[in-house]
Chain A
Amino acid sequence: MLEMLGTSLVSALTPPQIIYMIIGVLFGVVMGFIPGIGGVFVLVMLLPFVFNLSTEAAIALLISAHAVVATGGSISAILFGVPGSPVNAATVFDGYPMSQKGQAGRAIGVALGSSTLGGIIGAIVLLMLIPVVRPIVMSFGPAEMLFLALTGVSMISVLSGSNPIKGAIAGMFGILISLVGEDWVTGAMRYTFNSLYLWDGLKMLPVLLGLFAVSEMVHLCITGGAIAKGRVKIEDSPITGLLDVVKNWWLVVKCAVIGAVIGIIPGLGGDIANFIAYGYAGQSSGNKNNMGTGVVQGVLGPESANNAKEGGALVPTLAFGIPGSAGMAVLLGALTIIGLIPGRDLLGPQLSSVILIIAMLVISNIFGAALILPFVKYLARITTVNVTILAPIVLIITMIGAFNASRSFGDIVTLLIFGFIGYEMKKLGYSRPALILGFILGVIIERNMWLSYNLYGIEMMKRPVVLILTMLLLLIFFGPVIKSKMAHKKGVI
């Protein structure tokens, strides 16, 4: 195995592959940076070019581009509060406040450092799990997914900020609007008002971009000035950020593992990995009450998870040909056309291709961060530009990105409506993160609830993974209460 690793690393580093890797990374970072065009579209746009390349070159191009999309997206999330793609949504919550405090450079440094580390850990997870993947993927059925999603819901309490009632309302509203469209279980149409656009439900991209990007841009237009309020600080250098990552390395590792595990589970969709990592980072760092005000842990958790997730997501894709996310579905299609059939072949005679994929994940993550690092200083300066020039440009680009969701004018209308809702929510203290988390989880919960009910009935509570997750759920809900009671008792004595 190790010998094979060595030989394929050597084969990975031939000049043509490196050139394709560089092109891929450049493309991935730039596309990830543009809101709404990252994610799946990066792969789709590369597809036509891939067919004429050799297998190795094609792998280098596709994997490296896909691996660094989340890294590129973190930059727009931090600088403008506009998530490049849904996987960067949680980065906005603390990354953007850091920019407002004049620490854009530091925040990007944190994002780059944790992305790289997370990406590498994801690749290691892929390497280690490929031989033993079967039982892991097989142990996650609808019941397990349901309870995992419920664990995710408990993160709403972390995300809802100072007002838990308003946070809960936002989360519930998010779940309700996720139910718009065709009900997959009975085929009934819910809240569609005879509009064909709403059949498949509200699309993630326009809702997300509306809530965060449009509302933020409108807010900026009203306040005027620059994004960074007050003086840009001197300690604001990416190096500080990288040091932050080193200081919190254990948290980065833990969040990366969370991301990788969520990536492995097919059907959960990688979009929630960054939220769960964000909630976890908030709770374990003891900074829970400061989350959302520009805390380093709030950037490092999700950024580490969203790059690690790709390594995890490749596990079921390569081992069974079962793509866990939309991006992986496209990658699978591309791999098929260049002649790599997932499954036993890939784990047997074609194992070197898998090693090449892993090597590319590692190298491109490192290279992606190294590529951005020298420019951070200049990027951070954007936060000092007059926003009345910046805002309309970002607004139009956001519109182009949102339109990509389903190529219908409905996307743009959705963007506007949720822009307004997001603006009012921000002003009146309703948690937008809670809404978006409810929106992501609502459908997953309902789908898996009915599936578990139809498949196992009440028996599902006896499944081992479900039991563990239930315990975890109870611990998250009642843990803090018990903890504070204990602390209280100690204080009394």
Chain B
Amino acid sequence: MFRYSKKIRNTCFLMVVLLIIIAFLPIGCSKPADQPAPANQTQEPAKETAADFYKGKTVTFIVPFNPGGGFDTYARLVAPYLEAELGAKSVVVENIPGGGSIIGTNKFYTSDPDGLTICIINLIGTIPSQVLNEEGVEFDLKNVEWVARIASDPQVLVVSPEGKIQAFEDFLTANTTISSTSTTGSTYVNPVAMIAAFELQSKIVTGFEGSSGTDLAVMRGDVDATMGSMSSKLSAIANGDLKPIVVINEEEVPELPGVPNAKPFAKSNEAKQIINAISSIAAAGRSIATSPGVPQERVEFLSDAFMKVLNNPELLDKAAKADMPINPLAGDELKKLIDTSFQLPEELIKALEAK
């Protein structure tokens, strides 16, 4: 044992040094991207403009889904342009999947209110979850700061071009099956709303894997129809694999000429309310928010940057090639739109709760 004593002493000394390093270094290293020590600057934020603030910072762009989906592709398309526009060191896309976007949105909601975290929100999934006060929801989308809308997200009902139903009028009266992934998200909320509004005789078959699973089921003829965001179905529609028969959205949808909107079909008051609610959610579409409590100046700066990015001809060209519609909307108008979409009618809430 004695011959170790020197070694042990050495070790102890080293341990202490190491512990000190551990205690202090991370403070400097945890945010290596940040420029000069933020500690001094936060005390006098009044003099600092938002543009100065973002210079050289790292902005985290949360996508509450796995890489590869529609939301992810939009985020990754925008990120490099946003980086240049903000003057930030980088805009890092971070995928936090789980719970049908609830986990990622939770994480975003509780992030520091410094404006360095933005999130693309899946409104058709999160608004019903929040209104129904579902388990696990920690966010309140009424409190977040809305930055901009990248694109509206018209919800479309598609059938197989070879199937027995070829028009929405037929769909209203027929006994149909509709494919869906689970009991949350656009493939479920939409058909539930349709059934409640039009008193359809449709059966929802849940359990398909992703929107590719629900689409494939329609192509194969396993089910009659499926519903979901238009942008994920555009290429299949262009290929003639799927046929859109009705669309839900506030505005006209130039990508789908000749496809009727669901609104005129809603005759009763309740039906109108339900379709209006879904259509305002669809209109708010793929929107960007930043954490609640971010200084107003920074929110405006972010919003302006987004609007510039979304009008950049280079980005628009890329998006057009990729069949990704872009129709920007600035923060204030977006907030109005989203506030109305929280007013889900009783009927729809009951139908969603029934599962």
Contact = CB atoms under 8 A, between A and B. Distances in A.
Asked whether any CB of A lies within 8 Å of a CB of B in the complex, the reply is: yes
Interface of A: 40, 43-44, 47-48, 51-52, 137-138, 141-142, 182, 184-187, 189, 194, 196-197, 199-200, 266-267, 320-323, 326, 328-333, 336-337, 339, 341-345, 406-407, 447, 450-451, 454-455
A203 to B, nearest CB: 10
A194 B73 CA distance: 32
A186 B97 contact: no
Going nearest first, the 10 A-B pairs with the smallest beta carbon separation are: A329-B68, A187-B183, A343-B239, A330-B68, A339-B321, A333-B73, A322-B212, A185-B207, A199-B99, A336-B322
Contact of B69 (A185, A329, A344, A454): A329
B209 A337 contact: no
B235 interface: yes
A318 to B, nearest CB: 11
Nearest to A319: B239
Contacts of B98: 196-197, 199-200, 406
Contacts of A447: 207, 209
Interface in B44-99: 66-69, 72-73, 76-77, 79-80, 94-99
19 contacts: A40-B67, A43-B67, A48-B79, A52-B80, A141-B220, A142-B222, A182-B99, A199-B98, A199-B103, A200-B99, A266-B216, A320-B236, A321-B235, A326-B67, A337-B318, A339-B318, A341-B238, A342-B235, A455-B177
B240 interface: yes
B327 interface: no
B219 A138 contact: yes
A52 B80 CA distance: 10
A336 B67 contact: no
Interface string B219-246: 1101100000000000110111100000
Interface in B197-220: 205-210, 212-213, 215-217, 219-220
A184 B206 contact: yes
A330 B67 contact: yes
A392 to B, nearest CB: 16
Interface of A is mostly: helix
Interface in B291-341: 318, 321-324
Given A196-B136, A328-B68, 4 more contacts: A182-B99, A336-B324, A343-B239, A447-B207
Contacts of A339: 318, 321-322
B3 interface: no
A169 B318 CA distance: 53
B182 interface: yes
A47 B240 contact: no
B181 interface: yes
A329 B66 contact: yes
B319 to A, nearest CB: 9
Interface of B: 66-69, 72-73, 76-77, 79-80, 94-99, 102-103, 106, 135-136, 177, 181-184, 205-210, 212-213, 215-217, 219-220, 222-223, 235-236, 238-241, 318, 321-324, 355
Contacts of A194: 135
Contact of B103 (A196, A329, A345): A196
Contacts of B103: 196, 199-200, 406
Nearest to A142: B222
A333 B235 contact: no
A239 to B, nearest CB: 39
Given A266-B212, A344-B239, A450-B207, A184 B182 contact: yes
Contact of B238 (A44, A200, A343): A343
Nearest to A200: B98
A337 B99 contact: no
Contacts of A451: 205, 207-208
B239 A329 contact: no
Given A184-B182, A199-B103, A341 B235 contact: yes
Contacts of A184: 181-182, 206-207
A204 to B, nearest CB: 12
A114 B72 CA distance: 35
Contact of B205 (A52, A138, A454): A454
A341 B322 contact: yes
A326 B240 CA distance: 25
A439 B70 CA distance: 28
A47 B76 contact: yes
Contacts of B79: 48
A44 B212 CA distance: 20
A44 B207 contact: no
B128 to A, nearest CB: 12
A337 B93 CA distance: 15
Given A138-B220, A267-B213, A187 B184 contact: yes
